[in-house]
């Protein structure tokens, strides 16, 4: 079967009678069977359900009652609640746990007749940049199986890249959708904070967490965003703003774009990625967009701010995993001892590192020195970023400092691993939408990503400019 770039291609084959949803599901299941043993992208495959559902959707298509996403096969990162299905956040501590309800974003996809094909591997509790922190072992990058697919939504990106599903739903707290998308040659969209309900998304750092989309095209990202976004009675933090028709995003406007000089001049940036961003800039100029250099003086502070605040929030959010309410419970007659052993055995190294760091920065003696300070710096970062958007519609930078690295190369060097998030965390610290779009491959054939950001709630223009860039690339290569 040919690979489809977007749902509209799928739907037009369906309406011309060349394709059925059942045959499409069979195809994806076959891809999973052939490749998952090596790639380790899916932790559970809902084979029978997907097959049954595909027949239902086919008959709905026949009698013209099918929803917008009929024909879309979706995988979900192991951080989303899906009623009566396992939810483990790729952690031992949640072994055996099944969700009692379905996340709002997932329910909205189902209501539009998308088919959920399985649960995908990720870094434990979405903490990591390589998918190596999973209790189920690493996911491999389909472009080069000796390399990581990125993280934390690594399984989700690998699954789309290997055509095991059309789209994946991931989460992005500091880059977890954009960085894996960049490493696997895909589109990764992190919407504005609060655009999509977090009800049913296992919390990592609540003031940063966003539901994100990994797809092959901006078109699919727009459509899935449109379906998932909008107010929700189960999450009072979701924006009440009207959701625009993202799927009609082709505005073809000319934009004022700023490229962030500090990102392109950064020592850690790979030369080929730098050239890729420069190439995009040249192309934008030649297409009558205005592109100017801008400065973002707080770049060096975004990572420390992000890691202090997310660790603090994580230490609080993860306190609920105590052996009493969820998952595994260590054997002990002493309650305190039971908590300790459950948490020591149930959590992996990186999660424990974050819980301890978070507990430390929130402790009475250090609260002001770290947590309060980081909150203040967060405000400065937000102010400086928002100021740039008074003048520019879009900001452009690399998505990642490097292309996909080898499995095992930096696993034991947390600082090096955190540096992977250098360019992506700004959008989460501020709460603005950001997207990674694929732009060619390096000399080893590894995909490179370019990141675009816009002001809050401006996903429409972000998708429009991304689409213009991708269309240009496809026409010229
Ligand atoms: N790599 C970052 C971290 O480890 C981002 C994770 C994410 O976005 N969930 O925190």
Question: Does the CB atom of residue 194 touch ligand 1 within 6 A?
Answer: no
The string of pLDDT tens digits covering residues 103-144 is 999 999 999 999 999 999 999 999 999 999 999 999 999 999
pLDDT band, residue 249 (cuts 50/70/90) = confident
What value does the mean pLDDT of the chain take?
97
Mean pLDDT of 227-235: 98
Closest C-alpha among 169, 173, 235, 170 to residue 207? 173
CB of residue 402 inside a 6 A radius of ligand 1: no
Question: Is the dihedral angle over the CA atoms 24, 37, 214, 115 positive or is it negative?
Answer: positive
Examine the pLDDT at 362 and tell me if it is beyond 90. Answer: yes
Residues 307, 310, 316, 318: is their CA dihedral positive or negative?
negative
Q: With a 6 A CB cut-off, is 102 part of the ligand 1 pocket?
A: no
Set out the domains of the chain in order of their start, with CATH numbers.
7-251+434-475 (3.90.1300.10)
Atom nearest to 129 CA in ligand 1: 1
Q: Is the pLDDT of residue 166 over 80?
A: yes
If you average pLDDT over residues 379-387, what whole number do you get?
A: 98
Q: Kindly tell me if the per-residue pLDDT of 323 is higher than 80.
A: yes
77 is catalytic: yes
Average pLDDT on 450-467 reads 98
Residue 474: predicted pLDDT? 81
Beta bridge partners of 116: 74
Task: Give the containing element (helix H, strand E) for 54.
Answer: helix 47-62
Q: Which atom of ligand 1 is nearest to the CA of 208?
A: 8
**Model confidence at 476, in pLDDT bands (50, 70, 90)?**
confident
Cβ distance 435 to 463 under 8 Å?
yes
Q: How confident is the model at residue 445 (pLDDT cuts 50, 70, 90)?
A: very high
The percent of residues in the chain predicted with pLDDT above 70, rounded, is 100
- Closest of 294, 292, 290 to residue 262, by C-alpha: 294
Least confident of 294-308, 336-350, 356-370, 461-475: 461-475
Q: Quote the ligand 1 centre to 422 CA distance (angstroms).
A: 11
**Separation of 57 CA from ligand 1 center, angstroms?**
35
Which band of pLDDT confidence, cut at 50, 70 and 90, is reported for residue 477? low
Has residue 93 got a pLDDT over 80? Answer: yes
145 band by pLDDT with thresholds 50, 70 and 90? very high
Tokens of 181: 């998308």
Locate the ligand 1 atom nearest the alpha carbon of residue 173 and give its number.
8
Tokens of 91: 């952690």
Give, in order, the Cα–Cα distances in Å from 68 to each of 75, 165, 379, 398: 17, 17, 39, 33
176 annotated active-site? yes
Q: Are strands 394-398 and 447-454 parallel, antiparallel or unpaired?
A: antiparallel
Which ligand 1 atom is the nearest neighbour of the CA of 428? 8
Per-residue pLDDT, 417 = 95
What's the CA gap between 210 and 205, in Å, rounded? Answer: 10
Q: What is the pLDDT of residues 44-55, one digit of tens each?
A: 999 999 999 999
Pocket test for ligand 1, best of 150, 151, 415 (most atoms within 8 A of CB): 151
CB atoms near residue 25 (< 10 Å): 25
Ligand 1 atom with the shortest distance to the CA of 307: 10
Candidates 127, 171, 310: which one to mutate for ligand 1, based on the most atoms within 8 Å of Cβ? 127
Q: Of 251 and 425, which is predicted with more confidence?
A: 425
Question: Are 420 and 179 a contacting pair, CB within 8 Å?
Answer: yes
Q: Are 213 and 170 in contact, with CB atoms under 8 Å apart? A: yes
Task: Quickly state the pLDDT bin for 2 (edges 50, 70, 90).
Answer: confident
Give me ligand 1 centre to Cα 98, in Å: 24
pLDDT of residue 250: 85
Can 285 be counted among the known catalytic residues?
A: no
- Residue 207's pLDDT is 98
Distances (CA, A) of 65 to 8, 15, 53, 158: 17, 13, 14, 32
In the beta sheet, which residues pair with residue 45? 118
Name the closest-CA residue to atom 5, ligand 1. Answer: 174
This prediction's pTM? 0.98
User: Smallest Cα–Cα separation from 210: which of 193, 222, 225?
Assistant: 193
Neighbours of 289 (CB within 10 A): 19
pLDDT above 90 coverage of the chain, percent: 97
pLDDT of amino acid 424: 98
The pLDDT of residue 1? 84
Is the CB of residue 175 below 6 angstroms from any atom belonging to ligand 1? yes
Distance of CA 218 to the CA centre of its chain: 14
- Catalytic residue, chosen from 6, 130, 152, 402, is 152
How far apart (Å, rounded) are the C-alpha atoms in residues 176 and 74? 18
pLDDT of residue 473: 83
DSSP class of 98: B
Q: How many whole angstroms from 54 Cα to the centroid of ligand 1?
A: 34
Active-site option among 6, 171, 176, 194: 176
Whether 263 shows a pLDDT value over 70: the answer reads: yes
Residue 423 confidence (pLDDT): 98
């Amino acid at each position: 079967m040919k690979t489809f770039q977007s749902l509209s291609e799928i739907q037009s084959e369906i309406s011309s009678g060349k394709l059925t949803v059942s045959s499409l599901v069979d195809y994806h299941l076959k891809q999973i069977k052939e490749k998952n043993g090596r790639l380790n992208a899916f932790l559970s495959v809902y084979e029978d359900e997907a097959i049954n559902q595909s027949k239902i959707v086919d008959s709905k298509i026949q009698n013209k009652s099918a929803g917008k996403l009929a024909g879309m096969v979706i995988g979900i990162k192991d951080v989303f609640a899906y009623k009566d299905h396992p939810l483990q956040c790729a952690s031992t501590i949640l072994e055996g746990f099944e969700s009692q309800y379905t996340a709002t974003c997932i329910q909205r996809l189902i209501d539009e007749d998308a088919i959920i094909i399985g649960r995908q591997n990720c870094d434990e509790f979405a903490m990591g940049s390589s998918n190596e922190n999973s209790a189920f072992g690493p996911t491999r990058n389909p472009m080069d199986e000796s390399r990581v697919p990125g993280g934390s939504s690594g399984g989700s990106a690998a699954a789309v890249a290997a055509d095991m599903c059309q789209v994946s739903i991931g989460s992005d707290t500091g880059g977890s959708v954009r960085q894996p998308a960049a490493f696997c040659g895909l589109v990764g969209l992190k919407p504005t904070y609060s655009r999509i309900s977090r009800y049913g998304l296992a919390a990592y750092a609540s003031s940063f967490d966003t539901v994100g989309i990994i797809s092959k095209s901006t078109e699919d990202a727009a459509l899935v965003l449109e379906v998932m976004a909008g107010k929700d009675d189960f999450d009072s933090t979701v924006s009440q703003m009207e959701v625009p028709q993202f799927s009609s995003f082709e505005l073809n406007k000319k934009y004022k774009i700023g490229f962030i000089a500090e990102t392109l001049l950064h020592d850690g940036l790979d030369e080929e990625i730098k050239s890729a961003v420069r190439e995009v800039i040249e192309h934008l100029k030649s297409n009558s967009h205005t592109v100017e250099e801008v400065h973002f003086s707080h770049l060096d502070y975004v990572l420390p701010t992000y890691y202090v605040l997310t660790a603090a929030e994580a230490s609080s959010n993860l306190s609920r995993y105590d052996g009493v309410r969820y998952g595994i419970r260590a054997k002990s007659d002493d309650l305190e001892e039971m908590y300790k052993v459950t948490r020591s055995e149930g959590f992996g190294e990186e999660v424990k590192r974050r819980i301890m760091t978070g507990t430390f920065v929130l402790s009475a003696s250090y609260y002001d020195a770290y947590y309060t300070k980081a909150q203040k710096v967060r405000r400065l970062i937000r102010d400086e970023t928002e100021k740039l958007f008074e003048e520019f519609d879009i900001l452009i930078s690399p998505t990642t400092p490097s292309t996909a690295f080898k499995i095992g190369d930096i696993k034991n060097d947390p600082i090096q691993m955190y540096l992977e998030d250098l360019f992506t965390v700004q959008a989460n610290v501020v709460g603005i939408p950001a997207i990674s779009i694929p732009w060619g491959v390096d000399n080893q054939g590894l995909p490179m990503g370019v990141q675009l950001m816009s002001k809050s709630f401006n996903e429409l223009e972000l998708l429009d400019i991304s689409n213009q860039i991708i269309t240009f690339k496809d026409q010229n290569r």
